[in-house]
Amino acid sequence: MADAKIPRQAIPKQSPKDRVRNFNEVALGYTPELAQLEAQRCIQCKNPFCIEGCPVEIDIPAFIKLIKEGDFDGALAKIRETNLLPGVCGRVCPQEEQCEKVCIMARRFEPVAIGRLERFVADWEIKQNKMDLPEIASPTGHKVAVVGSGPGGLTVAADLAKLGHKVTLFEALHKPGGVLVYGIPEFRLPKAIVARECHILEEIGVDIRTDFVVGRTASVDELFEMEYEAVYLGLGAGLPWFMNIPGENLVGVYSANEYLTRINLMKAYKFPEYDTPIRVGDRVIVVGGGNVAMDSVRSSLRLGAKEAHIIYRRSRKEMPARNEEIENAEEEGVVFNFLVNPVRYIGNEQGRVKQVELLKMELGEPDASGRRRPVPIEGSEYKMDVDTVVVAIGNGANPLVPSSTPGLETNKWGYIVADTETGKTTKKGVWAGGDIVTGAATVILAMGAGRKAARSMHEYLTTGKW
């Protein structure tokens, strides 16, 4: 039986003082003892809500039971039945919004730390220097193209490969992983974990082709000519949004996509050992309140900024970032400026940003998102000196594939129209999911969309019915 007296086990972390000086992972992970202690807290519900709370339906009570019994390999195998990215998901899923939110323990105590346990077994396998591969069905002879190797594409590729289909994963960048590689920083998701989970896909027969931009190198129709029978579009983030205020194109104003890509994919934090530069200066402001904003502001401190600020137009309560990430940022000394919004940036003679003009806001009536709408306070403008600005307010849709694919319908914002249950687009043989359908969301939602699409694609491949 579960022991209600055991508190939810904290995850050991690097101290804030140490970690702001390095890019190493902040959370160090459970020891086997801590994991087994935490696992004892699961009461093994007969009708567990947590499985329903998981977009990829991991059999959570079953894997936790195996941890409790000390069978860590068995626990990992159980997770891999439905999820080939446990090292990633254990780290970056918003469990507090999903499996842990509905955990029965949360009603009287705190929820079981499902994410930390998932991560523990993934890391355990690495420490044992092993790689247990899932079982693969015999080859079906069907060829599938998955476009984009972010979390959604990886999920589709894994699911279809396990079912015996021959999958090629096309990636525009030089490394697979999409946002897991270019977007999420090393200190939150080590790139070795992503590389390993991508490598598992290759081990089960997925062909990963980097440096291949579908929409440019080949169109979707050309993929069909290359005898792919089904195509999944997991294109991810498109053009970064800016606020359309004066001075946004000054030097030193980055989109979060650019800022994070320089740091994470191109390793600009190791310049000049690595060729890609980044310039940060003493004071950085990051505009936005999501996870990407937290990643950007925390990276700034690690790059040597003396002050790193969040500029957010609502209050802390409305911030979309994970609470855990906000707390980490606070511990590290990030300055939060709530209820302010930039109105313009001011540059020097070289065209480099030197000041931001901010306008104070107050909260009004709730808007369409249910959050209280920020309303400007007239005459409240003030200026702040800055060296670097990072705009982290989201992305639009990438136009390359839609504009080169006749028959593929998009909505008025340029996102691809796809069925929410199956991922089917308006073009026969083409599925889509993740940010290119929903706009910016989370890793696990993209994975959930990939899971559903993979089911539908399998059905199409085996029955021929669209």
Partner 1 sequence: MFKIVERERVNPVVNKFVIEAPIIAKKREPGQFVVFRLHEKGERIPITIADADPKAGTITVYVQELGKTTFQMGTMQAGDEIADVVGPLGNPTSIEKLSGEMFVIAGGVGAAEVLPIARKHKKIGNKVVAILGFRSKDIVILEDEFRSFCDEVYITTDDGSYGREGFVTTELADHLERGRNIAEILAVGPAIMMKVVSDLTSHYKIKTMVSLNSIMIDATGMCGVCRVEVGGETRYACVHGPEFDGHKVNFDLLLKRLASFKEEEKISLERYQAAVGGEHG
Judge contact between 63 and 78, C-beta under 8 A: yes
Binding site for partner 1 (CB under 8 A): 172-174, 182, 210-213, 215-218, 236-240, 242, 244, 248-252, 254-255, 257-258, 261-262, 265-267, 270-277, 279, 350-352, 395, 398-400
Structure tokens at 233: 């579009």
Judge contact between 432 and 138, C-beta under 8 A: no
Nearer to partner 1, 202 or 258 (CB): 258
Nearer to partner 1, 143 or 372 (CB): 143
| E strand or H helix at 364 | strand 353-366
Residues β-bridged to residue 232: 146, 431
Distance of closest approach, residue 327 Cβ to partner 1, in angstroms: 29
Amino acid letter for position 379: G
Residue 94: name the closest of 301, 410, 321, 399 by CA. Answer: 321
Nearer to partner 1, 275 or 327 (CB): 275
Nearer to partner 1, 249 or 462 (CB): 249
Distance of closest approach, residue 385 Cβ to partner 1, in angstroms: 19
Structure tokens at 174: 């030089």
Distance of closest approach, residue 210 Cβ to partner 1, in angstroms: 7
Judge contact between 74 and 24, C-beta under 8 A: no
Q: Which residues contact 396 (CB under 8 A, 6 or more apart)?
A: 238, 239, 240, 241, 413, 414
Distance of closest approach, residue 395 Cβ to partner 1, in angstroms: 8
Nearer to partner 1, 9 or 398 (CB): 398
Nearer to partner 1, 29 or 290 (CB): 290
Distance of closest approach, residue 247 Cβ to partner 1, in angstroms: 11
Residue 261: name the closest of 395, 433, 354, 156 by CA. Answer: 395
SS3 category, 144: strand
Nearer to partner 1, 47 or 350 (CB): 350
Distance of closest approach, residue 398 Cβ to partner 1, in angstroms: 5
Residues β-bridged to residue 337: 311
Distance of closest approach, residue 43 Cβ to partner 1, in angstroms: 44
| E strand or H helix at 52 | helix 49-53
